[in-house]
Chain A
């Protein structure tokens, strides 16, 4: 009887001890990520300007209607810029990374070197990548000086709105393809080698083998690479700061740029928070949609292995 009670106390103490062990992580995570999301939601319904002496004034959905009606035209253009970066960028990064992975699939000293070369931009800060390419492709940058020196006309990489956006996407692709390359290489290792061999023996060409064996088996990898690339492309900010600072005009102002360098920098905290809440919702919904849509392809991959 006494022993049973002692055992129960011990179990309860164990449960309490277990609960306590989660407290430090929960405190930091809740304090600096969950509570801020709450603040963001609350401020998004106010006209707060960030000045401590001012109390946030409740304005209902005004910030949200302002984003959708968009009287100044800033928000819609930054949404379009971000959408274009996410779609074109994710597509380009994934196609190039997969192509490179197939090219660098076998491990030799040469391919190991090439993999590291493809990956190195990722260890540089996006801000530094931006400044670096600004010095290479700017109006007085290295490329344009070379063109001028050889008697040709310069190219408006960063000075024409359309060119600037295309240049920025290319720079982002250059910086990010290494990460996805590593993921594809890991995914390719999981492709059953005996299946590929059997298909080749049966007379299937390289394209057929890729189409019917490699690509289906890569399905789980493709889900991860699409979700991670879309998530990171939705929040592009630092590379903008270094490369174009949003210009020319607002041609390369992304959603994150709009939040941090336009709304927040101009003390429109309420509006910045509404834009932030919307971005978080879009990122979450997009991720789960992609994961759900990819589930069928992944089931195919499981059937293969």
Chain B
């Protein structure tokens, strides 16, 4: 009885593992297609899209993609990284003091203020971009990196502020009160005592904001303009690929250059990315 029970348990585990393996392979097939076809000429891609003949494999098309004037790879990465860092600095920098004040001032006014900020989480960024363009125009920030950073940061503030407020509320009040009695100013208490304790939630906000900044296409495309000298990875890929979607000698190498670094970062940081996401959702 117990033996047959363990046997069914074992065969059930086998079925489960096979199912997991099959599904994992299925998820990876598109990525595999990009990788192998990035090294093949058009004719070979069309004839055998899944194979890779090492005899005829070439890095020629990757080199062409690397030097494609539509998608300046190095500067595209530089601009995108700059956006990730700058937007996070702005969004986190302004959210920390605001969240601190809201969390530590239990009055109706500040509760309403929190709701006012949180309402922004229900506004899709690419939808509000159309009217935001007119604000940026009025501020003479249209077509500039500062304008882009400000807009992207503004869309990150609601969520960042929300999870920060929830986190600070759970920190013991006695901490900052003791420091305040010792004569430390409010700013000092915030940045020297509270902020260091916020490390895990700041990391969560940073990762989620970084993902959305890294992958944003609409904001840089519309705010910088398609003719801008600044290209991000996404606007560069669009410029390089959108008119040539059946020229696979361009499509696959360009996509490979665009996805490899972010996938490497993901592989190295996957535990943080995935736990950050669930932490953010639980707090949200």
Which chain A residues have a beta carbon within 8 Å of chain B's beta carbons? 14, 17-19, 21-22, 24-26, 28-29, 31-37, 39-40, 43, 50, 52, 100, 103-104, 110-111, 113-128, 131-136, 138, 140-143, 145-146, 149, 174, 179, 182-183, 185-186, 224, 228, 231, 234-235, 237-238, 241-242, 245, 256, 259-260, 264, 269, 272-273, 276, 279-280, 283-284, 287
Contacts and interface: CB of A to CB of B under 8 A. Distances in A.
A18 B186 contact: yes
Contacts of B157: 25, 28-29, 33
A296 to B, nearest CB: 21
Interface in B1-37: 16-17, 19-21, 23-24, 27-28, 30-31, 33-34, 37
B102 A142 contact: no
> Which of A39, A121, A142 has the most chain B CB atoms closer than 10 A to its own CB?
A142
A123 B266 contact: yes
Query: Can you list the 9 inter-chain pairs with the closest CB atoms, starting with the nearest?
Result: A142-B49, A186-B278, A32-B154, A125-B215, A39-B131, A21-B97, A36-B131, A235-B124, A25-B94
8 contacts: A18-B104, A24-B97, A114-B23, A116-B267, A125-B258, A128-B234, A145-B49, A280-B123
B48 interface: yes
A264 B130 contact: yes
B100 A138 contact: no
Contacts of B88: none
Given A33-B154, A276-B130, 12 more contacts: A21-B97, A22-B102, A24-B93, A29-B154, A32-B154, A119-B270, A119-B273, A120-B31, A123-B262, A124-B262, A133-B30, A136-B30
B41 to A, nearest CB: 14
Interface in B69-98: 90, 93-95, 97-98
Nearest to A19: B101
Given A140-B246, A142-B33, A28 B153 contact: yes
A142 B259 contact: no
Interface in B22-73: 23-24, 27-28, 30-31, 33-34, 37, 45-50
* Main SS class of interface, A: helix
Given A43-B131, A119-B270, A26 B98 contact: yes
A25 B28 contact: no
B111 to A, nearest CB: 13
B234 A125 contact: yes
A32 B90 CA distance: 13
B233 interface: yes
Interface residues of B, number: 94
Contacts of B216: 125
Contact of A132 (B30, B105, B129, B282): B30
Nearest to B216: A125
Contacts of A100: 23
Contacts of B48: 149
Given A142-B33, A186-B281, A280-B124, A126 B46 contact: no
Interface string B133-154: 0111101000000000011011
B284 interface: yes
A146 B161 CA distance: 50
B218 A238 contact: yes
Contacts of A237: 126, 218
